[in-house]
Amino acid sequence: MCGIVGIVDAGGVSFPLYYTLYALQHRGQESAGISTFEGTALYTHKAQGLVAEVFNGETLQKLPGNAGIGHVRYPTARSKVPDNVQPFNFRYRGLNLSIAHDGSLVNTTELREEYERRGQIFCTTADTEIMGSIIADALRTSKSMEDAVLLCMRRLRGSYAAVALLNNTVYAFRDPLGIKPLCIGKIDHGYIVASESVAIDALNGTFIRDVLPGELIRIDENGLSSTQIATANRKAHCIFEYIYFARADSIIDGTLVYDVRRRIGQKLYDVAPVGANTVCPVPDSGIAYAAGYAERSGIPFVEGLMKNRYMGRTFIMPTQQQREWAVRIKLNTVRGNLKDKKVVLVDDSVVRGTTSRRIVNMIREAGAEEIHLRVGSPPIVSPCYLGVDMPTRTELIASGKEIEEVRKSIGATSLAYIPIEDLVEAIGCGEQNLCTGCLTGCYPVEINGERCSRYVVDYMAGTRQSDFSTFKTGKEKI
């Protein structure tokens, strides 16, 4: 999971990009980068570290121009190397292309091998370089970026939301299933595309709508236009965005994430009520769930854990040992709110179980009489191949285990998960429009050795629309 943003603004974009990457910092903490264009030159600054560590006033002043893109990246144990820091730049026949990407392809190996046989040299292990290579190669012969993105979408299999800077024009596109989020906003002197609406809010902009699955957005000094490049007969929005990744104040595919999580908390009480003295969230992502549980149950909402606001997310830290060390630094108990209490502890998800086990131990050490863990997602039993760093089933505490086994491992008095049908109902878009691979082991794209829910993708040449009205297109099946 990463955060991406593209901006065209007559007043300059380096500082607005910086502010929006701050708003998207929760989506990635390993590295950050910005590319801008002015005159005939592409300017890029990127490095490993948090946004505030990578950029300062001096570096931002050296990124001139009214068009640019930015990226924050989360760490994975397999690819945490400086070479993978985005955006990536390509130059050919006077064209300057910079590209950044959120998501994960499942046919990376075959695409890389194909291009290497043709003499292409790759400098990174990132999927984004392959995407950029396909687009740059297509631009040598195609008439437009629209044609290049069409060719790119034909070749890619997996999840992707991408922003690209081609000279002074920003392009953004989303995979035909809409797995990764991407939205559009209006700012004072231009437009913005970003992973989440909170980036638009950071600039006091106006949220317009989500980028449609398979749609290409073009932003330049003359405004914004769009082309529907591809369509699928279903959507497959990442269910983990609603469970964990997105900020609660974001609007994802037309739905306020906070409302989804509050409804999940209410349903958690309906399916797993318990007599208790307090409802305690695991901050921050468990707060909305706990608010819903407390509202439905009538049990007081009380903070029993206090978060160190200067710590990042332990789930997306690269090693298990780092995640374990980080829990104590990140959270501290409010002993007076826990001692001799029967506590309903509400969290968004249980992935590896290490963090949950340590939190339960901390609350018990603070004197809690009972600890009833309620979880806002069903058991996570399968790996994610589409952008979340859960590579093996052996890492997942619920994989192949009964709930009682998980409860004993974590040490809670009781444990209950939200059923998948209640989760889907809380999100409100239907299970057929969600990627539930990590919960069901059935994926929306073909992955070797895994079950696949079948879908058909039609690619088409679209008509650009500036008013976002219905597209008039002709289909070309492949």
The verdict on whether 2 is a catalytic residue reads: yes
Bridging pattern class, strands 206-210 and 183-187: antiparallel
The rounded distance, in Å, linking the Cα atoms of 126 and 28 is: 15
Cα–Cα nearest to 349, from 384, 297, 311: 384
The rounded distance, in Å, linking the Cα atoms of 386 and 157 is: 10
Give the three-class secondary structure for 156: coil
Residues shown for the chain: 478
Please, how many CA atoms are within 13 Å of residue 380, restricted to the half-sphere of its CB? Answer: 27
Bridging pattern class, strands 331-333 and 305-307: antiparallel
Max alpha carbon distance in the chain (Å)? 72
Contact 87, 165 (CB under 8 A): yes
Cα-only R_g, the chain: 23
The rounded distance, in Å, linking the Cα atoms of 377 and 424 is: 10
E-strand stretches of 198-254: 206-210, 215-220, 223-228, 230-232, 237-238, 251-252
Q: Which helix (H) or strand (E) holds 82?
A: none
The rounded distance, in Å, linking the Cα atoms of 315 and 182 is: 23
Q: What is the 3-state secondary structure (H, E, C) of 165-195?
A: EECCEEEEEECCCCCCCCEEEEECCEEEEEC
User: Alpha carbon of 102 to those of 53, 173, 297: distances in Å?
Assistant: 21, 11, 38
Bridging pattern class, strands 215-220 and 206-210: unpaired
Of these residues, 2, 152, 238, 280, which one is catalytic?
Answer: 2
Cα–Cα nearest to 28, from 128, 116, 112: 128
E-strand stretches of 39-189: 41-48, 67-73, 88-92, 95-105, 158-166, 169-174, 183-187
Long-range contacts formed by 252-258: CB under 8 A, 24+ apart:
252/181, 252/196, 252/197, 252/210, 253/178, 253/181, 253/210, 253/429, 254/209, 254/210, 255/427, 255/428, 255/429, 257/288, 258/288
Among all residues, which ones are annotated catalytic?
Answer: 2
